[in-house]
């Protein structure tokens, strides 16, 4: 029986797929299928998880990059933001440092970047243009992913350390911002004339998603009839996004390993159930969703 089940998702044999324990993956999938898709919720990171990491050999922008590269930012500000990136990004992906060590430095980075953006007097109505003129792209297969979740009334929570206003605009322009999508992110606060004056609420960065998850217990309370979780991320910080889920029964974790493959592969295999190596598509998550909703 287990053998036939295994072949139900041929995409799990794709060359980009790595699994530490394929048998365990099958067990989780079978348990979730048995429970039914009305018990499922999807929790996903955004930048470089739902969006492409690269296209034709060129890096694609994150939500912050879309702003950084746009005409809304002065060249002086762009320079300063680039300096911040060059200082802090190597720390973020440094596998020799602990999360505890990285945490205050990530807060420092995000806070400085947000302060610089606020000084730029960004107008709300210009965000749409910035996104349209950018090279941001959702991963291949995004229409099926978003539409299938919507058609099956499966909630999608997007949890992002990016900028919520930009993130929503990317999804909106792709035509897939449906009513089942909820976003936890850093949102801009505009004054009555539509100028950016601050960022709202608590800062969400790559390593405090757990706190964000626990702060939003109201959302998870509403979803307590959905104890089965498909989690998607591209960093080890994303693994805590489901920590607010109450009475969780099963969680299947899919991780995109976009770069620095050799030095990070083992830690991803130890943490994620399915690791997708340099895969720019949503083919595997889509195959899993189709399987879980009975569209085999």
Report the catalytic residues.
45, 47
Sequence-ordered list of residues with C-beta below 8 angstroms from that of 183, at least 6 positions apart, any chain: 157, 158, 160, 164, 167, 168
Query: What CA dihedral angle connects 266, 268, 272 and 275, to 10 degrees?
Result: -90
Whole-number Å distance between alpha carbons of 58 and 61: 10
Q: Contact, 289 vs 230, CB < 8 A?
A: yes
Strand 196-199 and strand 188-190: the pairing is: antiparallel
**Collapsed DSSP state (helix, strand, coil) of residue 113:** helix
The encoded tokens of residue 37 equal: 């898709």
**∠223-225-228 over CA atoms, to 5°?**
85
């Amino acid at each position: 029986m287990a053998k036939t089940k295994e072949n139900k998702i041929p995409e799990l044999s794709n060359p980009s797929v790595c699994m530490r324990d394929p048998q365990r993956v099958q067990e989780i999938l079978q348990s979730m299928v048995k429970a039914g898709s009305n018990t499922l919720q999807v929790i996903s990171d955004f930048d470089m998880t739902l969006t492409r990491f690269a296209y034709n050999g060129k890096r694609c922008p994150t939500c912050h990059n879309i702003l950084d590269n746009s005409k809304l930012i002065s060249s002086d500000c762009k320079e300063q933001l680039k300096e911040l990136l060059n200082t802090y990004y190597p720390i973020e992906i440094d596998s020799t440092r602990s999360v505890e060590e990285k945490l205050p430095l990530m807060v420092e980075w995000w806070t400085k970047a947000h302060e610089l953006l606020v000084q730029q007097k960004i107008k709300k109505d210009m965000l749409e243009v910035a996104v349209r003129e950018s090279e941001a792209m959702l991963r291949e297969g995004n229409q099926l992913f978003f539409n299938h979740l919507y058609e099956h009334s499966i909630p999608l929570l997007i949890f992002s350390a990016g900028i919520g206003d930009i993130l929503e605009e990317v999804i909106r322009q792709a035509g897939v911002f449906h009513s089942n999508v909820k976003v936890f992110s850093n949102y801009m606060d505009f004054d009555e004339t539509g100028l950016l004056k601050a960022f709202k609420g608590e800062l969400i960065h790559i390593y405090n998603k757990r706190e964000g998850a626990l702060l939003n217990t109201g959302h998870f309370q509403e979803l307590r009839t959905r104890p089965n979780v498909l989690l998607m991320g591209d960093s080890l910080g994303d693994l805590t996004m489901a920590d607010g889920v109450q009475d969780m029964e099963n969680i299947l974790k899919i991780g995109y390993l976009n770069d620095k493959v050799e030095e990070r592969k083992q830690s991803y295999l130890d943490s994620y159930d399915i690791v997708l190596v340099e895969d720019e598509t949503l083919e595997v998550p889509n195959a899993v969703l189709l399987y879980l909703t009975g569209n085999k």
